[in-house]
Amino acid sequence: MALGDKIASWPVLRQLREGDPLGLGPSVQSPRSRTLKPRIDDAEHVVQSICPYCAVGCGQLVYVKDGDVTHIEGDPASPISRGRLCPKGQASKSYVQSPLREYKVKYRRPYGTTWEELDLDTAMDMIADRIVETRAATWQDETDGGCPANRTLAIGNLGGATLDNEENYLIKKLMTGLGIVQVENQARI
Amino acid sequence: MQQDLANSDCIVIMGSNFAENHPVGFQWVMEARERGAEIIHIDPRFTRTSAMATKWVGIRAGSDIAFLGGVVNYILQNDLWFDEYVRHYTNAPVIINDGFVDAEELDGLFAGWDPEQGEYEATKWMYEGMEVHGSAGQREQGFKPTKGEASGHGGHGGGLHHGEPPSEDPDLSHPRCVFQILKRHYQRYTPELVAETCGCSVEDFISVCESLVRNSGRERTSAFAYAVGWTQHTVGVQYIRTAAIVQQLLGNIGRPGGGIMALRGHASIQGSTDIPTLYNILPGYIPMPHTEKYGNYKTYVRASSAPTGWWGHMDAYFVSLMKAYFGENATEENDWLFEKLPRIDDDNSAYWTLEQMLEGNVKGYIIAGENPAVGNANGKAHRLALAKLDWLVVRDLVEIESASFWYDSPEIETGELTTEKIPTEVFFMPGAAHTEKDGSFTNTQRLLQWHWQATEPKGDCRSELWFYFHLGRRIKQRLADSKEPRDELVKALRWEYPTHSQIQEPDAEAVLAEVNGFEIATRKFLSSYKELKPDGTTSCGCWIYCGVFADGINQAARKKPHWEQTYVAPEWAWAWPANRRILYNRASADPDGNPWSERKKYVWWNGQKWEGEDVPDFDEEKSPDYTPPDGAEAEDAIAGDHPFIMQADGRSWLFVPQGLEDGPLPTHYEPHESPFDNPLYAQRANPRRQQHTDAGWDPYNPVDGEGGADLYPHVFTTYRLTEHHTAGGMTRSVPYLAELQPAMFCEVSPELAAEEGLEHGGWATIYTTRAAIEARVLVTRRMKPLVVNGRTTHQIGLPYHWGSQLLTRGDSANDLMHAALDPNVHIMETKAATCGIRPGRRPRGKALVDFVAELREQAQSRRAQDPRVEPEKVRKT
Amino acid sequence: MSSLLQLNTDPDGWGAYGEKQRERVGFFTDTSICIGCKACEVACKEWNLVPEDGLEFTGESYDNTSELSANTWRHVAFVEQQHDGGMRWLMESDVCKHCTHAACLDVCPTGALFRTEYGTVVVQEDVCNGCGYCVPACPFGVLDKRHLPATTDPPPAFLGKKEDGRVWKCTLCYDRLKGGHEPACAKACPTKSIQFGPLDELRERADERLAKLQAGGVRDAQLYGRDPGDGVGGFGAFFLLLDDPEVYGLPPDPVVSTKRLPSMWANMAIAAGAVVAGIAATVLRP
């Protein structure tokens, strides 16, 4: 900064020049304050979403920059929520970016005492193997009473109320195809 | 419809802490209040909802049927029902079989009780001269296939004569007509009895009755809002039924500002019931095939459909689903693969699975977005059960207690579990957040709302769509060459979905399109379930969702701002069925089709067709004076003045002749664990409730003044706080929420604190026969001792969000709970049980187990010595 | 000059913006419809990246935040009362009052605190050196130093790396205002207990609301900080309370602690100006 500019930016000179003799307003506005703008204005795109917590179904606007969520707030267009959110909905970004969020598969072997790393593909193959094996070993063609059963009672699937309809659809479809009947979710709690 | 609450003149919130658990939906209640509506909160605790209400009535947890039964009685005794509505729209005039005997005569049991089986023979509750099926519940109840029965239904046409059941009394005076049965059933639910049973004053009770009556009728409407405060009881379904009776008598169903609003607690718990991840139903509430109940495809369809009403097309819904599941592999010749479908037993619900797990019969378990180690009743049993598995998959965003049980559950500390001895192989699979995937949630008002993906999931994080699709793909690859009969069905499964992005995420819209359905020959998307066919020419993954992808457009993703449309907002997202926002809205008009009043007009007959604010819930061109010809079937059998088109008789049911396990009329039973006797009947608790008496893992406190009951003298109830969500996985992981409610606490009255020596801000130990937990003490006047049956009773409030993991940790309230269940829906009674409390922290390590065991043994021995104790005649499961 | 305080209902420093001046905005927090959900607390923290500050169970009803601080810019107070023979649970979302005559502003020696073009009072994080003069000056105890590791821009080096040390408080979402968005707390509030808007409009709305409540028999309802003639010249963020301010832990009659300061500073500024002019005359001589 040239010396002249430096002096011109001296608070007292600014106070006098800007009609702010007490130095309470524009004359003390910092460079940051002068150029400040809301970070949502920098978003590359804004996505209309729905809150993941309760079933009120509030609309959310998700602001994204550089592949990351920069902010989440209420979607004013929603006839249900009219742009408002409760503390949980308002904390959605902190949930999505929780310091405790897990990004890697973790594996605990039988009788193991620690988590181990496991490649996602390997884990998927192992889970598929477990299902195929358990199902084959425990299959029931018929009940003890001779009624058709077509099932295994040795595998269960729990959860669904926090998931999308499309996900629930695939779960029920796959489990029914596999003869797994113990498919349950939070509706029981 | 939540926005419609603003049109209410009186809102009764009961079994719900609306303001705390659905704060944004509560804006509509506040809006109603500002417009002058009365807001009544009836609850054991004075909560943030009570603080906003115009009236709060404190009642004992578990006494709601007594209260609401009292309201029914008040209406009937004082001639205050909405007569025209009741006569035309409800089953009040219908005459019931002469074999029916009411609980009033059998001291708390209805006709048909089989003490050996511990079950009802529900045929005793049927209409005289015809057989009807419910639109929900156990629709096949009472159905017994006979050998060789192929087709034809004894009373096809349903026995309706010109749309009416054969035996009716329009004067409502026949002693066996529903109206008179109802009147007799509730005649002893007097204001005085209500006050004694619920612990409220007669004046408060009467004032609620007066508010409801004052705000119902042609010009005004009242609404009820409830949540799991009603469902989580051993007689939970009947709680809601009682409110339904009140609302029918007052004419508040199907009208703006009326209805019964179920406030659900998870983003898509409604969706996961519609497209169920539930054992007993297929998408669209189609029953799962049962091992014993049906012989073959034809008897299955017969048992699951109704000859009259919209369930008359159940075969079309089912066949279209099989086409969506199996495509060309499901044919008329192979009965759409019905014979290959897996069969269920009477109960394969989550708590049954728990028991099977404890017995070592379940080997593998996949948990996706649920945390039973904290969220389910009797948490210890769940954790011990997980430790019996061969393998476990847990999918979540953070490491929840159901994934970490093998090293940090309370049972590790007590020595009941040892890490090195737990065989369970655990796969923790990180999930994708709602911002990282496309998809739809169905909210509490049946609205399917699409959320778009904002970012790519990082690392190994994947959506459930990805997980189950790629899992299915891998399994199908492994079984592709199998010749085993058991693999035929999975091989027949259509499992092709387009994928996108580097991780090969399945296209969620393609799945929604399959759910919507299409005409197979033309691939044209269907726009309504009315287009579904039973001949295999249509495919539809969930008939009630048919139309959500009409014209190939994702209707759930419609986001037209509310300021560009009416308050009904028909162009925001899509509601099932048929984008209808208020169900049974034909009832918003009088029998002739005119609005009941200008103030409450919603849908009406304009001379040619039905029109109004909403999609009419009626055949658009069926005139109010339509009388069905004899032999009419399905919807054609419903008369023009009967709005309840899903019911086989087009009427709402005051009395439920079919579909419920525990009686046709709600009856006050004490909670499974209660310090009191039933003031109305010798039958103390719901006779049909499911218990695990012999199992060992689910011991029960002595009740009702039995020996040992004094060790567990108080009532406790569990609940959520605004600042947290269910078992805490989604909130204890968030710093900004964790700091707002950073510790497990108990809420007690100053009187109880004085009696038990509890110090505000200090610690308390709360215990049952199952567990002991510790909590910080919050002494508050919002908890109030109640006088019930002449005795003072204390209630303790326990939020249930905490566990051993995440940012804020603490003991789990659910560890205290037993797992006795409602027989209709297998839900546990987390809203009312008994416990003891003492100051200070709980014992640690093995001392904790000893502490609980000593008290339990003491209780059991006192109970055994009590000469009054008789073994209860209850069903054992 | 102290007499100016009685005459001037405009915020100090605001008039200097000239053409850049914007309509004075603020909050009207109507506690009669506050449901105590704390969405405002979280919305504020989410937007302003205010750090979480401790998992402490206080036992103060449902309030585990306790007070406004450097790490809590919205705070919901919970008051349990016996009232008219029944129970009453008051909830009130407290916030910086953005006083018309703000002592914090007056005492700030660095110009970190300033009056914005919207008439609000903001601490500039790139200027504040953590001297703390403003902390005791505030009659409401709003201003507070952050004793936590820095979370956003690193603090000035001389403060050391151990803690932030600067003063933080509600900015009425200055950045959002500049972008044409309402403040985060007001936007989130499920029942619109927190209303944002031009102050004049809010005052009118508040008067109507008070009249309606009083007509409905809510005897103790009162506006707090609405009156431009009060000891701080009225609040930019004022309240409708259902009981006396002290019930909520608010001072009943706040007075700007620097009534005489403006004249002192002005005199100093004139003196300093003379010095600067002298220096400039020396340095800038061609």
Q: What is the ipTM of this complex?
A: 0.96
pLDDT at C215: 95
- In sign, the C-alpha dihedral spanning C55, C59, C65, C69 is negative
List CB contacts of B251: < 8 A, sequence separation 6 or more: B81, B82, B84, B85, B86, B89, B216, B217, B258, B587, B596
Across-strand partners of A63? A46, A71
pLDDT of residue A21: 80
Distance from CA of A109 to the nearest CA of C (A): 34
CA nearest to B127, candidates B152, B153, B159 = B159
Query: Distance between CA atoms of B490 and B492, rounded to whole angstroms?
Result: 5
What are the distances in angstroms from CA A126 to CA A28, A121, B369, B474, B737? 64, 9, 20, 10, 36
Q: List all residues 6 or more positions away from B9 whose beta carbon is below 8 Å from its beta carbon.
A: B32, B36, B37, B38, B215, B220, B221, B222, B257
Give the pLDDT mean for B677-706.
93
Instruction: List the 660-679 stretch of B: residues with Cβ below 8 A of A.
Output: none
Enumerate residues 6+ apart whose C-beta is below 8 A from C3. Answer: none
Q: What is the pLDDT of residue B704?
A: 86
Q: B636 exposed, middle or buried (CB, 10 Å; 0-12, 13-18, 19+)?
A: middle
- Is A96 touching B (CB cutoff 8 A)? yes
Residue C150 confidence (pLDDT): 64
> Per-residue pLDDT tens for B270-316?
999 999 999 999 999 999 999 988 789 999 998 888 888 888 999 99
Q: For residues B695-712, give the mean pLDDT.
A: 93
- B89-106 pLDDT per residue, tens: 999 999 999 999 999 999
pLDDT (tens digit per residue) in B709-732: 999 999 999 999 999 999 999 999
Residue of B nearest to C76 (CA): B740
- Our CA-based measurement puts residue C128 at a distance from the nearest CA of chain A, in whole angstroms, of 10
Chain A residues inside the 8 Å CB shell of B429: 105, 123
pLDDT at site A188? 81
Residue C266's pLDDT is 57
Q: Does A157 touch chain B (CB under 8 A)?
A: yes
What pLDDT is attached to residue B272?
A: 97
Distances (CA, A) of B568 to B20, B262, B360, B602, C138: 25, 18, 52, 10, 48
pLDDT at B122: 85
Percent of the residues in chain B that have a pLDDT greater than 90, as a whole number: 90
DSSP B352: H
CA–CA separation, B842 and B764 (whole Å): 8
Confidence grade of residue B419 (pLDDT, cut at 50, 70, 90): very high
Q: How far apart are CA B428 and CA B572, in angstroms?
A: 37
pLDDT digit string, tens, across residues B564-604: 999 999 999 999 999 999 999 999 999 999 999 999 999 99
B176 backbone dihedrals φ, ψ, rounded to 5°: -105, 10
- Is residue B293 within 8 Å of residue B304, measured between CB atoms? no
Pick from B842, B539, B828: which is nearest to B689 by CA?
B828
pLDDT tens readout for residues C224-241? 999 999 999 999 999 999
pLDDT tens for residues B748-762? 999 999 999 999 999
State the amino acid at position A148 in one-letter form: P
Give the strand pairing for C237-241 and B447-451: unpaired
pLDDT at position A19 over 90: no
Closest CA–CA distance from residue C77 to any residue of chain B (Å): 12
| CB pair distance less than 8 Å for A30 and C126 | yes
DSSP state of B566: -
Handedness of CA A164, A169, A170, A171 (dihedral sign): positive
The answer to whether the CB of B786 falls within 8 A of the CB of B59 is yes
What pLDDT does residue A152 have?
98
Q: Is A181 close to B288, i.e. CB distance below 8 A?
A: yes
Q: How confident is the model at residue C181 (pLDDT cuts 50, 70, 90)?
A: very high
In single-letter form, the type of residue at position C108 comes to C
Provide the token pair at B405: 């049980």
User: Cα separation of B130 and B136, whole Å?
Assistant: 18
B420, with CB counted inside 10 A (0-12, 13-18, 19+), is exposed
Q: Which two tokens stand for residue C163?
A: 């803690």
Which structure tokens are listed for B239? 């709680």
Question: Shortest CB distance from A88 goes to which of B361, B458, B725?
Answer: B725
What's the average model confidence in pLDDT over A152-161?
A: 98
Using only C-alpha atoms, chain A has a radius of gyration, in whole angstroms, of 29
Its sign, for the CA torsion B674, B677, B678, B682, is: positive
How close, in Å, is residue A5 to chain B by CA atoms? 44
d(CA A43, CA C41): 24
pLDDT above 70: percentage of residues in chain A: 92
Beta strands in B255-328 (DSSP E): 260-262, 281-282, 286-287
Cβ separation of B51 and C91 shorter than 8 Å? yes
Instruction: Answer whether C190 touches A (CB < 8 Å).
Output: yes
Whether the per-residue pLDDT at B155 is higher than 50: the answer is no
Q: How many Å apart are CA A162 and CA A50, to the nearest integer? A: 12
Q: Which residues pair with B792 in a beta bridge?
A: B787
The larger pLDDT score, comparing residue B876 to residue B805, is at B805
**Concatenated DSSP letters for B190-216?**
-HHHHHHHHS--HHHHHHHHHHHHHT-
Buried-exposed string B291-318: b where 16+ CB fall within 10 A, e elsewhere: bebbbebbbbbbbbbbbbbbbbbbbbbb
Closest CA to B222 of B473, B29, B427: B29
Q: What is the pTM of this model?
A: 0.95
Q: Are the C-beta atoms of A52 and B726 separated by less than 8 Å? A: no
Q: Looking at chain A from residue 139 to 178, which residues have their Cβ under 8 Å from any Cβ of chain C?
A: none
Q: How far apart are CA B699 and CA B693, in angstroms?
A: 7
CB distance C46–B761 less than 8 Å?
no
Give B164's strand partners: B161
pLDDT over 70 at C259, yes or no: no
Choose from C118, C178, C256 for mutation: most chain A CBs within 10 A: C178
Mean of pLDDT over chain C: 88
- SS3 string of chain C? CCCHHHHCCCCCCHHHHHHHCCCCEEEEEEHHHCCCCCHHHHHHHHHHCCCCCCCCCCCECCECCCCCECCECEEEEEEEEEECCEEEEEEEEEECCCCCCCHHHHHCCCCCEEECCCCCEEECCCCCCCCCCHHHHCCCCCCCECCCCCCCCCCCHHHCCCCCCCECCCCCCHHHHHCCCCCHHHHHCCCCCEEEEEHHHHHHHHHHHHHHHHHCCCCCCEEECCCCCCCCCCCCEEEEECCCHHHHCCCCCCCCCCCCHHHHHHHHHHHHHHHHHHHHHHHCCC
User: In the structure, what pLDDT confidence band is assigned to residue A13 with cuts at 50, 70 and 90?
Assistant: low
pLDDT of residue C276: 53
How far is B599 from B597, CA to CA, in rounded Å?
A: 5
Asked if the peptide bond before residue B577 counts as cis, ω within 30 degrees of 0, the response is yes
Q: How do residues B846-866 score in pLDDT, each as one tens digit? A: 999 999 999 999 999 999 998
DSSP conformational letter for A56:
S
Return the minimum-mean-pLDDT range out of A22-36, A159-173, B143-157, C250-264.
Answer: B143-157
Mean pLDDT of chain B, nearest integer:
94
Phi-psi region of C216 (alpha: psi -120 to 50; beta: other; left: phi over 0): alpha
- Could A98 and B734 be called an inter-chain contact, meaning their C-beta atoms sit closer than 8 Å? yes
- Among chain A residues, CA nearest to B510: A166
Question: What whole-number distance in Å separates Cα of residue C46 and Cα of residue C182?
Answer: 15
Q: What DSSP character marks residue B803?
A: -
Which letter does DSSP use for residue B122 in this model? G
The answer to whether B291 and B343 have CB atoms below 8 angstroms apart is yes
* Residue written as token pair 């169903």: B253
Nearest CB among C42, C179, C265 relative to A90 is that of C42
- The alpha carbon of residue B338 and the mean position of all alpha carbons in its chain are separated, in whole angstroms, by 28
A95 and B429 within 8 Å at the Cβ level: the answer is no
- pLDDT for B146 equals 40
Q: What percent of chain B has pLDDT over 70?
A: 96
Backbone angles phi, psi at B751, to 5 degrees: -65, -45
- Residue C103 — pLDDT band, cuts 50, 70, 90? very high
Please check the confidence at residue A9 and state whether its pLDDT lies above 70: no
Average pLDDT (B690-704) is 92
pLDDT for the residue B846 = 97
Please identify which residue in the block is written with the tokens 């249930």. Answer: B800
Q: Report the residue of B29, B363, B474 to disrupt the A interface, i.e. the one with the largest count of A CBs within 10 Å.
A: B363
pLDDT attached to residue B83: 98
pLDDT of residue B869: 78
